[in-house]
Amino acid sequence: MFHTPVMPRPRKRSRPEEAGIARHEEAKFEDVRIFLVERKMGSSRRSFLTQLARSKGFIVEDSLSEAVTHVVSEDCQASTLWMWLRSRALRNLSMMHVLDISWFTDSMREARPVTVETRHLIQETSPEVTTPTPVATVSQYACQRQTTTENHNKIFTDALEVLAVSCEFNEIDGSCLAFRRAASVLKSLPWAVQCLRATQDLPCLGEHTKAVIKEILQYGRSFEVEKILADERYQTLKLFTSVFGVGPKTAEKWYRRGMRSFSDVLAEPSIHLNRMQQSGFLHYGDISRAVSKAEARALGNIIDEAVRAITPDAILALTGGFRRGKEFGHDVDFIVSTPEVGKEDSLLINIIESLKKQGILLFCEHQASTFDMSKLPSHRFEAMDHFAKCFLIVKLKGSQVEGGFQQMEEDNRDWRAVRVDLVSPPIDRYAFTLLGWTGSRQFERDLRRFARSERRMLLDNHALYDKTKKEFLEAKTERDIFAHLGLEYMEPWQRNA
């Protein structure tokens, strides 16, 4: 086995800030300066271990600086740890020992820093990885990056989202996608970007994005983004597209006709609002407010009851953002199906009828199925699926929500309006639909891009087609689809790309 002795390092100039600090007075091992990584260890265990080591004469640094010689971590995920270390841009990182906790416990037991052995090391590339790319490399595909709802880079991703939306309004699709991809990469990082150098090995970050990151790092804000946010056209289009049923095209049309506010639109007699837009304005206050998890659960109970009254063996699953573990959503998404193919046809109609009878259906747009397996595979990228679906606005009562409403409705109403989406695929298409409707949008886009570019396969909400074998690949579960694609399975809560 390869042994690295703990070499005494040449003494550096003594640092003025260290002089006279009590904890260093009894330091016995001047050449070893330990830093304990808090991630996974937790702060209370970290402070316990710090005290223990100091009581035995070890120097433990509170922060990670270039003075540190031994980094100790309980995080067994080497890639995460190394990404974090690299993000700190330490010039002498290559000189530091990066060790797991066994070196620390051995040293405590012996009451001296033990010799560093290979078994103590947390190495940057782990041997179990079979791909030629090093483990610390972040994939260009969102479907190969675990992304939870915890976003360490919100100040950057919020700015990039503004830029993406602005491009969308100006129909610059390429740049829009580029900003979204960059934001998605930043969302997946388990650490906050603290210097531009930390971003140098990340994929999908173009020059423009890097300039924005640099500005924010330097000034705490991006002037380009602030300019957009202050722009009248951007503000107006943002306002109009926040209405259910109003897309960028309609918003632009209204803007061009000089309209700047909702009252402008509603006062203009020549503007014809479709049914969806009328409901959008009517319930604007309610449906522009986020839906909570408890409210989503309550809706689940309502739909479940409605569907089971007629089809007791129906299958109902929560999908969309709430399935990914989000605390809030703009709507609640469900999939309904039946154990037998073909029986799913009447499900949505029955649910709609039941909600109507209960007097809680405020809006309904039902789209019948146009699904035809013989028309697959579809080469159209990001096309909508052909299953029966409906877009609803449902009246939810406070008494149906566990803990009631968090916020009192303005006019003392005991209910609020909530947007609900339902999709109803035949059961043999269920796994594809579940995967497609769970999202996120960026995750789905990259799953399809990965399938096409890396596997010569076509994936959509209906099916997976292998262009090499010229056949459809069947799947009962989402795991089957990941396996067909040769991708590591991602739990729904890891798909918040």
Answer yes or no: 421 catalytic: yes
Residues 6+ apart with CB under 8 A from 210: 196, 199
Q: Provide the minimum distance between the beta carbon of 192 and ligand CTP in the complex, in angstroms, as a whole number.
A: 24
Structure tokens at 43: 């702060």
Residues that bind ligand CTP (CB under 6 A): 320-321, 326, 329-331, 333, 384-385, 421, 436-437, 439-441, 444, 461
Query: Are the C-beta atoms of residues 396 and 294 closer than 8 Å to each other?
Result: no
Answer yes or no: 446 catalytic: no
112 binds, among Mn ion, ligand CTP, none (CB under 5 to 8 A by kind): none
Answer yes or no: 158 catalytic: no
The 10 Å CB-count burial string (b at 16+, else e) for 161-185 is ebbbbbbbbeeeeebbbbbbbbbbb
The span from the CA of 141 to the CA of 114, in Å, is: 42
Indicate which residue of 231, 304, 421, 466 is catalytic. Answer: 421
33-36/70-73 β-pairing? parallel
**Which of residues 106 and 168 has its CB atom nearest to ligand CTP in the complex?**
168
56 binds, among Mn ion, ligand CTP, none (CB under 5 to 8 A by kind): none
**Which of residues 81 and 388 has its CB atom nearest to Mn ion in the complex?**
388
Q: Provide the minimum distance between the beta carbon of 171 and ligand CTP in the complex, in angstroms, as a whole number.
A: 20
Interacting residue with Mn ion among 421, 428, 466, 480 (CB under 5 A): 421
Structure tokens at 231: 């722009």
Indicate which residue of 75, 331, 385, 446 is catalytic. Answer: 331
Q: Provide the minimum distance between the beta carbon of 319 and ligand CTP in the complex, in angstroms, as a whole number.
A: 7
152 binds, among Mn ion, ligand CTP, none (CB under 5 to 8 A by kind): none
**Which of residues 75 and 444 has its CB atom nearest to ligand CTP in the complex?**
444
Residues 6+ apart with CB under 8 A from 336: 303, 307, 314, 315, 316, 317, 344, 347, 348, 351, 422, 423, 424
Is residue 365 involved in binding Mn ion (CB under 5 A)? Answer: no
**Which of residues 105 and 369 has its CB atom nearest to Mn ion in the complex?**
369
113 binds, among ligand CTP, Mn ion, none (CB under 5 to 8 A by kind): none
444 binds, among ligand CTP, Mn ion, none (CB under 5 to 8 A by kind): ligand CTP
How far is CA 296 from each of CA 300, 301, 362, 388, 411, rounded to the nearest angstrom? 6, 9, 17, 21, 22
**Which of residues 190 and 320 has its CB atom nearest to ligand CTP in the complex?**
320
Sheet holding 33-36, edge to edge: 59-61, 33-36, 70-73, 97-100
**Which of residues 153 and 319 has its CB atom nearest to ligand CTP in the complex?**
319
Binding string to Mn ion for residues 320 to 339, with x set by CB under 5 A, is what? Answer: xx-------x-x-x------
Indicate which residue of 333, 385, 446, 460 is catalytic. Answer: 333
Q: Provide the minimum distance between the beta carbon of 238 and ligand CTP in the complex, in angstroms, as a whole number.
A: 16
Q: Provide the minimum distance between the beta carbon of 325 and ligand CTP in the complex, in angstroms, as a whole number.
A: 11
Q: How far is CA 473 from the centre of its chain?
A: 28
Q: Provide the minimum distance between the beta carbon of 438 and ligand CTP in the complex, in angstroms, as a whole number.
A: 7
Residues involved in catalysis: 331, 333, 421
Residues that bind Mn ion (CB under 5 A): 320-321, 329, 331, 333, 421
